[in-house]
Each structure stands twice: as C-alpha cells, then as structure tokens.
C-alpha cells in the first residue's frame, strides 16, 4: 500500500508538472495505455473483457471519468497538498452514497465527523489565497464522483473480475475525452511525451499494488494507509514546486484527515 501511495503521488506530481497540457488530454494518454495494458492482460487470462453487468460497468466508467478528470484539473490549478486533501473527502461521499447504493448503515455520529472534514476544507480555502473557490468546487466534484465510483465497484465485486472493472474506465473515457481534447489539442513536445508515459506507468503500477494490498490484507488497516498520501504531497510539493503553507492551512488539512479517520474508526467498530 505504501508503494502504491508513492506511485499515485508521483502521478500527481507529473500531472502538475505539465500544466500546459490540458488535463483532458492527459486523460486520453493515460486511458489509452490502461486500455491496451488491461485488454492484453485479460485476454491472456481468458477473461471476457466486457464482463457481465454492462449497465453498472458503464456507470462505473462514467463516474470514474468525471472524478479523475476533475481531479487532474484541480491538481493543475491549486497547490498539490491542497488538491490531494480535498480529494480525500471522497470516503465521506462513499459512505453517504453507500446508504442508497449498497444499503450501508451510517451512525449519526459520523455526520459530525463529516462536518469536521468540511470545516477543514473551508479553513484551507479561507487562509490560502492560492486556493480559488472555483477549483475547490471542482475538487469537491472529483471527491463526489470518486465516492460514487467506489460504491459502484462494491456493487460489482461479486459479479465482475477486478481487471474488467478497471478495463471499463478507459473504454468509456476514451471516446469522450478524445473528442473533448480534440477541440483544444496541445501538441506535446520533448519531455512532455516522457512525462505522459510516466503518468500512465505510475497509474497502472499504483493500481496494481493497491489491488494486491486489498486482496492480501485486512481492508480497514490497509485503507488507513491511503492517507499517508498527504505526507507525500507535502514533501513532493515542497521539493518540486516550492509549495509551503501557513499554520492554519496545516490545521485545515489536519481537520480533514481527522474527520475521515474518526469516521473510519466508527465503521471498524461497527
């Protein structure tokens, strides 16, 4: 899980490192790599690439696409650690949508923890002039649709192979992202090509180690390690982009993480 977190962090850095390439265009390259890689792997294992529950697989592709595209745009427009922290609101929306999609029960105290995390985002936005309210909203959209995507994955876990679920993301994303990026295409130059390839490799590698971790260890313990990503973001943001924060911004990040971790603790006890 720690290795997965490092590769996700490197992916985030790389996306932020090429702000002149539109996020939707980065998605095209990333999706193309993932589509080819996943297809070859599924074929070698003799698994039906199109799965069984096509309706929910397509829904997963749509909501996952919206979540990732909005996250990439957020990464390119606000400090790295702030973007990652806002994205960490996704477990809140995962829990809320889980009430309706997978019939998950939520304790009243959890809504207090949700509020704590939202207050943290308000603090970050209020004390950091680099965090524009518009991009906070885009980051929230990312977290919301990521929460939807996680619930759809849970709904599909008993009917679909994990690689089929992964395959549908680029399958659904590519037509839309390809058309949208064509309207404002920016030709990559020089090192841009290497960075785009690196983003694709990092994403696929991170997902691989993430899957291995969830398949071989206690889910609650493994998932808590996800939040080490904020440490990676702070370190990489400082060294690669010279990003620093005032004390209150750190307080805001802490409130977001505290709310999420308390919520996870309640779910583990339940």
Alpha-carbon distance of 29 to 47, in angstroms, equals 25
Residue 186, φ and ψ in degrees, nearest 5:
-120, 120
CA atoms within 13 A on the CB side of 120: 26
The full 3-state SS of the chain, as one line of letters, equals CHHHHHHHHHHHHHHHHCCCCCHHHHHHHHHHHHHHHHHHHHHHCCCCCCCCCHHHHHHHHHHHHHHHHHHHHHHHHCCHHHHHHHHCCHHHHHHHHHHHHCCCCCCHHHHHHHHHHHHHHHHHHHHCCCCCHHHHHHHHHHHHHHHHHHHHHHHHCCCCCHHHHHHHHHHHHHHHHHHHHHCCCCCCCCHHHHHHHHHHHHHHHHHHHHHHHHHHCCHHHHHHHHHHHHHHHHHHHHHHHCCCCCHHHHHHHHHHHHHHHHHHHHHHHC
| pLDDT for 218 | 53
Alpha-carbon distance of 99 to 202, in angstroms, equals 33
The two tokens of residue 266 are 């309640």
Residues 43/49/52/55 CA torsion (nearest 10 deg):
170
| pLDDT for 267 | 67
- Give which of 43, 145, 131, 30 is closest to 90, Cα–Cα: 145
| N residues, the chain | 270
| Residue range of the domain that includes 222 | 2-269
pTM attached to this predicted model: 0.85
Structurally, the chain folds into a number of domains equal to 1
pLDDT by 10s per residue, the chain, length 270: 788 889 989 999 999 999 999 999 999 999 999 899 889 989 998 999 998 889 999 998 899 889 989 999 999 999 999 998 898 888 788 888 888 887 878 788 888 988 998 999 999 888 888 889 999 999 999 999 988 988 888 788 778 887 888 888 899 999 989 999 998 899 999 999 999 999 999 988 887 787 676 656 555 455 566 777 888 888 889 998 899 998 999 999 999 888 888 887 776 665
Question: b or e along 43-70 (b: 16 or more beta carbons within 10 Å of the residue's beta carbon)?
Answer: eeeeeebebebeebbebbbbbbbbbbbb
| pLDDT for 172 | 92
Q: Which residues contact 48 (CB under 8 A, 6 or more apart)?
A: 42, 164
| pLDDT for 214 | 62
């Amino acid at each position: 899980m720690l290795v997965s977190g490092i590769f996700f962090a490197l992916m985030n850095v790389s996306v932020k490192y090429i702000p002149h390439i539109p996020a939707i265009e980065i998605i095209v390259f990333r999706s193309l790599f993932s589509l080819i890689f996943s297809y070859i792997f599924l074929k070698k294992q003799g698994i039906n690439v199109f799965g069984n529950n096509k309706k929910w697989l397509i829904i997963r592709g749509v909501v996952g696409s919206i979540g990732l595209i909005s996250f990439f745009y957020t990464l390119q427009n606000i400090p790295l650690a702030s973007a990652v922290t806002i994205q960490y609101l996704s477990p809140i929306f995962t829990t809320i949508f889980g009430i309706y999609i997978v019939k998950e029960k939520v304790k009243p105290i959890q809504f207090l923890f949700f509020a704590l995390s939202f207050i943290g985002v308000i603090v970050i936005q209020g004390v950091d002039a680099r965090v524009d309210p518009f991009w906070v909203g885009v980051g929230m959209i990312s977290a919301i649709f990521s929460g939807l995507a996680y619930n759809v994955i849970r709904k599909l876990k008993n009917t679909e192979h994990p690689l089929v679920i992964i395959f549908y993301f680029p399958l659904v994303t590519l037509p839309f992202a390809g058309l949208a990026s064509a309207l404002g295409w920016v030709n990559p130059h020089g090192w841009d090509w290497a960075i785009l390839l690196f983003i694709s490799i990092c994403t696929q590698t991170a997902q691989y180690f993430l899957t291995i971790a969830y398949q071989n260890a206690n889910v609650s313990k493994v998932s808590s390690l996800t939040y080490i990503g904020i440490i990676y973001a702070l370190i990489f943001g400082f060294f690669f982009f010279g990003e620093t924060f005032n004390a209150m911004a750190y307080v805001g990040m802490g409130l977001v993480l505290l709310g999420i971790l308390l919520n996870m603790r309640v779910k583990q006890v339940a």
